[in-house]
Amino acid sequence: MRFLDRIDSPQDLRKLKQDELEQLAEEIRQEIIDVTSVRGGHVAPNLGVVELTIALHRVFDTPKDKLVWDVGHQTYVHKLLTGRKNEFKGIRKHQGLAGFPKREESEYDTFDTGHSSTSISAALGFAKARKVTGEDYDVVAVIGDGSMSGGMAYEALNHAGNCDTNLTIVLNDNEMFISQNVGAMSSYLNKIRTAPLYDKKKKDLEKLIRNIPAIGSTMVKAAGKAKDGIKYFLVPGLLFEEMGLTYLGPINGHDICALERVLGQAKLKKGPVLVHVVTCKGQGYEPAKKNPDIFHGVGPFSKETGELLKKLAPPTYTQVFGKTVCELAEKDERIVAVTAAMGSGTGLSDFGKLYPKRFHDVGIAEQHAVTFAAALALTGLKPIVSMYSTFYQRAYDQVLHDICLQNAPVVLAIDRAGVVGEDGPTHHGVFDISFFRAIPNLTIMAPKDENELRHMINTAFTYDHPVAVRYPRSNGYGVKLDDELQVLEKGKAEILREGKDITLIGFGPLVYMCLEAAGNLQARGIEAGVVNLRFINPLDRDTLIKQATISKKIVTVEDHILAGGMGSAILELLELENINDVTVQRIGYNDFVEHGPIPLLHKAYGLSVDNIVKTAEKLVNEK
């Protein structure tokens, strides 16, 4: 029987001996590889934190003590050790365990996450609450070096460093976010990692200075009197110390014994402590260790070779986007691209290789990315920011205040718009229409297929004001890609099918579902028109009013929350135009959406041909 099978809670873990723990770490790695090779998931981040997670649950009295994970993509080990090993095979499956921490799933999950750089804020909140509630528990935040590039982490450190609240921050430093980490903090951590131990270095340096003829000993004394003496230049983690935290480390994050010792020390210290743990992303599995960026998050793969099991399919929207931006950038050297730690995820890797001077990966810093792009635009450059819909939520004020208010011509590429599948509610991109539609000056488009995406990106660069293009996380429709890129008429919808009984309106690829539904409706004697909306800002007033007046009935279909979405925009238009005799039925989401495969989620929430047909038929037959 495996040690893993004997662990129902961290209590069982605390009974194991050191050599048994090493065996357990092996078994956990094997379990993660077995399951993710079938189900996909965040492989490399989890393999990197096996020993760290074991040590944390042994040193801290979870669930009484609170562990807060940053992003939460690295909590598979935590889930295996906290009573969820039997359900682990179904992780990320619809109705199965979530791929991220979820309070409703376990008392060991203290804070729901998915977006990065929140852990220190949350942990400090838990820690501060003790003063009011009188409860007694320790609090630990676990944050990666990548997530330390996010502004929220610094806001929280700034707060934590200035109070005497007991709190342990574990900095899991593997030199990566999804790709290689960037930025000054990353270089600083690298300096600490590679520097010989401070004490030894200090002694060596003293010896060196002392040996300088005549003035050596005076210099040593002078250095000692300097603000913090030699330490000021050499002590590892001084930046954190200066901010008011105790720095411990760097520690080998794959040595359980060392980890337990230092975490034990951190627990006893007063005030905030930062424990710098050095880990290797993908540890214990060669394919992941060699390609930690690819194995950050993957679909199914061969356990033996690490080869990804990809199905033959049309290119994704992301791939077509990346190719199109490269083509355009070749012709126009004012085009520059900005991404927030998602170069490969947003299809900009090739752009980065072809035009390194015109490519800016700013780290997990969406707010900064957007304001930075606004200024680039004001110099006459043509910036395109590419981020996932869900992460634009972070940069709302920057889009409004820094781009749109001063009408800076930035192109905002909104990737992963709509439900994204197994990553679930923290990652679904189902709010962007609502929150962007309200902003003046911002044109918003969505293509029905990958070819139209190309024309829209081209069109976006011709505008002298901000523009957003939203497209989903999926393969394209498999349509032919035009070589010649067109400029679409601004605010003009496309009528794909005429029909007098009802109008089906889609925004984005669901237009194809509307077309299929219209075909089915025809077989039932109902003539349905189909509109590919293309633009939500500005709306094609004339086309929409014409269609509404003819059919008097409209069904809108959107991969988005209903509140404030595309259907709402149509309703607002009808209200503004005093058109009161048109019935609109909206199909979309009306709550947070759980995790699961995209087609399953679409179907479950009525984004299906059958449901469009049913809804339309009912509406037409209503008196």
Ligand X SMILES: Cc1ncc(C[n+]2csc(CCOP(=O)(O)OP(=O)(O)O)c2C)c(N)n1
Residues at the site binding ligand X, with contacts judged by CB under 6 A: 45, 48, 70-71, 73-74, 115-116, 144-147, 172, 174, 176-178, 281, 296, 341, 364, 366, 391, 394
In order of 161, 222, 365, the CA distances from 358 in angstroms are 37, 47, 18
In whole angstroms, what is the distance from residue 299 CA to residue 214 CA? 67
Say how many C-beta atoms besides its own lie within 10 A of residue 104's C-beta.
7
Q: Closer CB to ligand X, residue 71 or residue 122? A: 71
* DSSP β-bridge partners for residue 309: none
Tokens in use for 546?
């014409």
DSSP type of residue 297: S
Tokens in use for 188?
């600083």
**CB 146, min distance to ligand X, A:** 2
Q: What is the DSSP string of 343-392?
A: TTTTT-HHHHHH-GGGEEE--S-HHHHHHHHHHHHHTT-EEEEEEEHHHH
Q: Closer CB to ligand X, residue 174 or residue 283? A: 174
Closest CA to 315 of 496, 201, 449, 458: 449
Q: Closer CB to ligand X, residue 74 or residue 165? A: 74
In whole angstroms, what is the distance from residue 420 CA to residue 424 CA? 7
In whole angstroms, what is the distance from residue 239 CA to residue 249 CA? 13
Neighbouring C-alpha atoms within 13 Å toward the C-beta of 612: 33
Residues ≥6 apart with Cβ < 8 Å to 92 = 39, 40, 41, 98, 99, 422, 423, 424, 595
Residues ≥6 apart with Cβ < 8 Å to 86 = none
CB 281 within 8 A of CB 289: yes
Q: What is the DSSP string of 449-487?
A: SHHHHHHHHHHHHH-SS-EEEE--SSB---PPPPSSPP-
Q: Closer CB to ligand X, residue 84 or residue 394? A: 394
Q: Closer CB to ligand X, residue 366 or residue 558? A: 366
**CB 343, min distance to ligand X, A:** 10
In whole angstroms, what is the distance from residue 29 CA to residue 90 CA? 17
Q: Closer CB to ligand X, residue 296 or residue 358? A: 296
**Mutual angle of helices 541-551 and 566-576, in 10-degree steps:** 80
Closest CA to 414 of 395, 400, 438: 395
**CB 424, min distance to ligand X, A:** 12
Closest CA to 409 of 454, 460, 364: 460
**CB 259, min distance to ligand X, A:** 16
**CB 279, min distance to ligand X, A:** 8
**Residues assigned a catalytic role:** 281, 366, 394
Closest CA to 107 of 55, 67, 58: 67
* DSSP β-bridge partners for residue 554: 503, 584
* DSSP β-bridge partners for residue 248: 275
Q: Closer CB to ligand X, residue 65 or residue 145? A: 145
Q: Closer CB to ligand X, residue 306 or residue 363? A: 363
In whole angstroms, what is the distance from residue 364 CA to residue 347 CA? 16
DSSP type of residue 441: T
Q: Closer CB to ligand X, residue 116 or residue 451? A: 116
Task: Name the 3-class secondary structure at 609.
Answer: helix
**CB 48, min distance to ligand X, A:** 6
Question: Which ranges constitute the DSSP H helices of 403-556?
Answer: 432-437, 450-462, 510-523, 541-551
CB 511 within 8 A of CB 483: no
Residues ≥6 apart with Cβ < 8 Å to 318 = 345, 346, 347, 415, 471, 473
